[in-house]
Amino acid sequence: MEKNRLEAFSDGVLAIIITIMVLELKVPKESGAAALKPLFPVFLSYVLSFLYVGIYWNNHHHLFQSTKQVSAGVLWANLNLLFWLSLFPFCAGWMGENNAAPIPTALYGVVLLMAGVAYYILQCTIIAQQGKGSLLAKALGNDWKGKSSPFVYLLAIPLAFVNPWISSGLYTCVAMMWLIPDRRIERVLETRES
Amino acid sequence: MEKNRLEAFSDGVLAIIITIMVLELKVPKESGAAALKPLFPVFLSYVLSFLYVGIYWNNHHHLFQSTKQVSAGVLWANLNLLFWLSLFPFCAGWMGENNAAPIPTALYGVVLLMAGVAYYILQCTIIAQQGKGSLLAKALGNDWKGKSSPFVYLLAIPLAFVNPWISSGLYTCVAMMWLIPDRRIERVLETRES
Amino acid sequence: MEKNRLEAFSDGVLAIIITIMVLELKVPKESGAAALKPLFPVFLSYVLSFLYVGIYWNNHHHLFQSTKQVSAGVLWANLNLLFWLSLFPFCAGWMGENNAAPIPTALYGVVLLMAGVAYYILQCTIIAQQGKGSLLAKALGNDWKGKSSPFVYLLAIPLAFVNPWISSGLYTCVAMMWLIPDRRIERVLETRES
Amino acid sequence: MEKNRLEAFSDGVLAIIITIMVLELKVPKESGAAALKPLFPVFLSYVLSFLYVGIYWNNHHHLFQSTKQVSAGVLWANLNLLFWLSLFPFCAGWMGENNAAPIPTALYGVVLLMAGVAYYILQCTIIAQQGKGSLLAKALGNDWKGKSSPFVYLLAIPLAFVNPWISSGLYTCVAMMWLIPDRRIERVLETRES
């Protein structure tokens, strides 16, 4: 199997996920500035989810750069990832419309966690397919970002019942961690580790 | 005609079908866990339909791997398949929101059957175009999955009026049958047949 | 400019138009067969519009097969066509939900007419760009289908105020005319003309 | 990184933005011509937004024609642009449904401005990546359109509180300025400047 169609299909699904999330920003009936106020948390949740989908698209791009052939296992691992990402609009909408209430915020974390795990499975499937001396395994290095993110989500999910804003803050921190260019951070870490 | 644009267009339609199905999971107004309960059957129906669209995408991918040129007949047979698949969101939503009531469950089966038949027609059109010694015909072998699935649907449709959960179970079984990697099952069958 | 991105963008827009039309088929709240009855005209209007988008996609495909370079004029003529096609979901929904009332049926015809004219403009722009001995001009021949369709629409629009079903019938006839494989009809016509 | 996937993803997002804008044109329940009247400003706002997305797609196309490799910076600058463009359906819908009331019209201008700035950042990122003797920098020339548009938006935003139709008119003028083929205008300007 060629990777082109898998990439095109994933790009399509990600592009649609990003744009249907914006549909949760429902056009208000009034024209005053007050009508925008209840939309503000929905907007924040949209920005966060947009960042996450952007990060996943970016990483997905890198993941398949070192691959040429795609096995049936990789294909289903990819669909599994797309499934969890497809739940982002629902969770982002629920969290945003309820002003980050505990349960919606926790559920958002659960979906982030499941997407993170699905991404990790996809990564392992590709590495396993490439065999020893896998290019992807080398490129990933110790993969501290991929390995630490799920633990942050696991911490944030129960904290949503204490204070949902702590959880939202933690979700944002993970997004920021992925946004900041890799090299600089890795150098910092190398210095600390040495 | 080249097959690239047909693949790209089909990928686009399938990607959108998958993601508009998730729109049936309507964001509840309350933030409690109880608000999620009525969404559970909608979610199950979404998972099942996601699997089906994933399987069709996967098989569609295989179907066109052995093809290079696309005739007008193949093009319309493909649009026919996309038409039936485009009815998945409606049927999945109706079945899910009515907690698998008899008529919606039967209609879901009818659309699964029509999509299966449309897929079979597409397959035959491609084989006919390739002529004798068709690569696709060889690759398909006895095609027991493709041939048995419609009969399971035909059985499940009337059974929806007895107990819709039996039908849903049968739809799930067909999906599982397609999900499990081919070779292993085929080997098992070869052993049984010999 | 290369034509690949124009084709990919048009395919994306057409794929989305097809699938958002199906959103007009709103999931009913009841689970009985009676709940499907009011959806029947919406379904018919969806089938007709699906056919039209399919035909446009098919023809669009042919149009760009003979082209290699795309000028700014072609690009805007293409966006003009996509604009009119993007109004199909609205018109199809309005016609379907009002059981083919006169004004919605006439409006559907107006949009069909405008899309037909936009397609004709796009075709002329491509032929003009290719210059004398244009491959597309040769491939089109006398283009009786393209030239007669607008007149049928012009006839059907006022007839919607007499009986909307006559108009719907005429719209269906035009679709059928494009669906039936070209060669056979052209041969018939050649025989008649000679 | 290759530019193909970035282009495909951007095309997907733009195609979806264009088509979800049309969803704001909600199918009326009545079938009379009077039912269309309140939709007229929504339609005008759709036409304007369609033009803008078309112009952005067109320009985006040109931007990446001179590029071969895509850095992480370009990728995020592109996602930033797509983010602001994804707010078009919301703003167009709000402005259209409120008959161009002051606040929605101003907000539309803010999003146009932010998209313009995001586009400018993307352009600068690409030029910086290409280094001295950048092809894109040469192709852009003095880029008077790109540089003047933000100032028109900055003027139009406060004017929305005086008369929203002046602002809408200014937004339309900017769109027209981009639509009219470049060369002719540039020649005119060259003559004036010399």
What lies within 8 Å, CB to CB, of C175 at 6+ separation is C48, C51, C52, C55
Chain C CB within 8 Å of residue B5 CB: yes
CB contact under 8 A, C16 and B17: no
Separation CA C21–CA C111 (nearest Å): 15
| D11: nearest Cα among A58, C9, B178 | C9
Contacts of A29 in chain D (CB under 8 A): 97
Query: Do A182 and A146 contact (CB within 8 A), yes or no?
Result: no
What lies within 8 Å, CB to CB, of B40 at 6+ separation is none
More confidently predicted of A17 and A132? A17
CB contact under 8 A, D19 and C13: yes
More confidently predicted of B116 and B38? B116
State pLDDT tens for residues C111-158.
999 999 999 999 888 888 887 777 777 777 777 788 888 999 999 999
Contacts of C8 in chain B (CB under 8 A): 8
What are the domain boundaries of chain B? 3-193
| A109: nearest Cα among A155, A51, A162 | A155
3-state secondary structure of D28: coil
Contacts of D179 in chain C (CB under 8 A): 76
To the nearest whole Å, the CA of A80 is away from the closest chain B CA by 9
Separation CA A1–CA A75 (nearest Å): 9
| B126: nearest Cα among B15, B1, B17, B14 | B1
| A86: nearest Cα among B54, B136, C75 | B54
Chain D CB within 8 Å of residue A180 CB: no
For A131: left if phi > 0, alpha if psi spans -120 to 50, otherwise beta; the answer is: left
Chain C CB within 8 Å of residue B135 CB: no
Token duo for residue A147: 């390995």
HSE-CB at A25 with a 13 A cutoff on CA atoms is 29
Contacts of C23 in chain B (CB under 8 A): 20, 23, 89
CB contact under 8 A, C9 and D57: yes
To the nearest whole Å, the CA of D40 is away from the closest chain C CA by 13
More confidently predicted of A72 and B83? B83
Give alpha helix (H) positions in A22-71: 40-65
Of chain C, the percentage scoring pLDDT greater than 90 comes to 35
Candidates A2, A11, A24, A79: best to mutate against B (most CBs of B within 10 A) is: A79
Identify any residues that bridge with B143 across adjacent strands, giving them in sequence order: none
CB contact under 8 A, B20 and C16: no
> How far from the centroid of its chain's Cα atoms is residue C181's Cα?
16
Does residue C161 surpass a pLDDT of 50? yes
Does residue B35 surpass a pLDDT of 90? no
| A101: nearest Cα among D175, C37, B145, B32 | B32
Chain B CB within 8 Å of residue C18 CB: yes
Query: Do A104 and A113 contact (CB within 8 A), yes or no?
Result: no
Sign of the dihedral defined by the CA atoms of residues B149, B152, B158, B160, in that order: negative
Separation CA C176–CA C179 (nearest Å): 5
| B18: nearest Cα among A79, A91, A58 | A79
**pLDDT, mean over chain B:** 84
Per-residue pLDDT band for C185 (boundaries 50, 70, 90) equals: very low
Token duo for residue C100: 């083919």
Separation CA A87–CA B25 (nearest Å): 9
Helix C72-86 vs helix D3-21: crossing angle, to nearest 10: 40
Query: Do D66 and D16 contact (CB within 8 A), yes or no?
Result: no
What lies within 8 Å, CB to CB, of A88 at 6+ separation is A17, A21, A49, A52, A53, A111, A115
Separation CA B25–CA B46 (nearest Å): 8
Query: Do C106 and C160 contact (CB within 8 A), yes or no?
Result: yes
Query: Do A3 and A62 contact (CB within 8 A), yes or no?
Result: no
Look up residue A146 and give its amino acid. G
To the nearest whole Å, the CA of D3 is away from the closest chain A CA by 11
State pLDDT tens for residues A145-157.
888 889 999 999 9
Separation CA C166–CA A86 (nearest Å): 43
- Read off the pTM: 0.86
For residue A22, what is the DSSP state?
Answer: G
Beta strands in A8-47 (DSSP E): none
Contacts of D11 in chain C (CB under 8 A): 5, 8-9, 12
CB contact under 8 A, C11 and B16: no
Chain D CB within 8 Å of residue A5 CB: no
Element (H, E) at C118: helix C102-130
Measured between alpha carbons, how far is residue D129 from residues A62, D66, D73, D120, D122 in Å?
19, 12, 9, 14, 11
C-facing residues of B in 79-108 (CB < 8 A) are 79, 82-83, 86-87, 89-90, 93-94, 97-98, 101-104, 107
Per-residue pLDDT band for C82 (boundaries 50, 70, 90) equals: very high
Counting DSSP H helices and E strands in chain A, the numbers are 9, 0
More confidently predicted of B178 and A163? A163
Candidates B19, B46, B178, B180: best to mutate against A (most CBs of A within 10 A) is: B19
Separation CA B71–CA C58 (nearest Å): 11
Contacts of D8 in chain C (CB under 8 A): 8
Chain D CB within 8 Å of residue A185 CB: no
Separation CA B67–CA B55 (nearest Å): 19
Dihedrals phi, psi of D79, to nearest 5 degrees? -65, -35
What lies within 8 Å, CB to CB, of A37 at 6+ separation is none
User: Which of A8, A98, A104 is nearest residue B8 as measured by Cβ atoms?
Assistant: A8
Separation CA B10–CA A87 (nearest Å): 22
- pLDDT tens for chain D, residues 1 to 194: 577 788 888 988 998 888 888 888 888 888 888 888 888 888 999 999 999 999 998 888 878 877 777 888 888 899 999 999 999 999 998 998 888 789 999 999 999 999 999 999 998 888 888 877 777 777 777 777 888 889 999 999 999 999 999 999 999 999 988 887 555 444 555 565 55
Query: Do C27 and B90 contact (CB within 8 A), yes or no?
Result: yes
Residue with tokens 């161009």: D100
Token duo for residue B175: 């999906």
For residue C66, what is the DSSP state?
Answer: S
Separation CA D45–CA D168 (nearest Å): 9
Separation CA A84–CA B143 (nearest Å): 32
Residue with tokens 């080249």: B2
> How far from the centroid of its chain's Cα atoms is residue D161's Cα?
22
Chains with 3 or more CB pairs under 8 A to chain C: B, D
State pLDDT tens for residues A63-94.
887 777 788 888 889 999 999 999 999 999 89
Element (H, E) at A11: helix A3-21
Does residue A185 surpass a pLDDT of 60? no
To the nearest whole Å, the CA of D114 is away from the closest chain A CA by 15
Chain B CB within 8 Å of residue C28 CB: yes
Per-residue pLDDT band for B192 (boundaries 50, 70, 90) equals: low
pLDDT of residue D1: 58
**pLDDT, mean over chain A:** 85
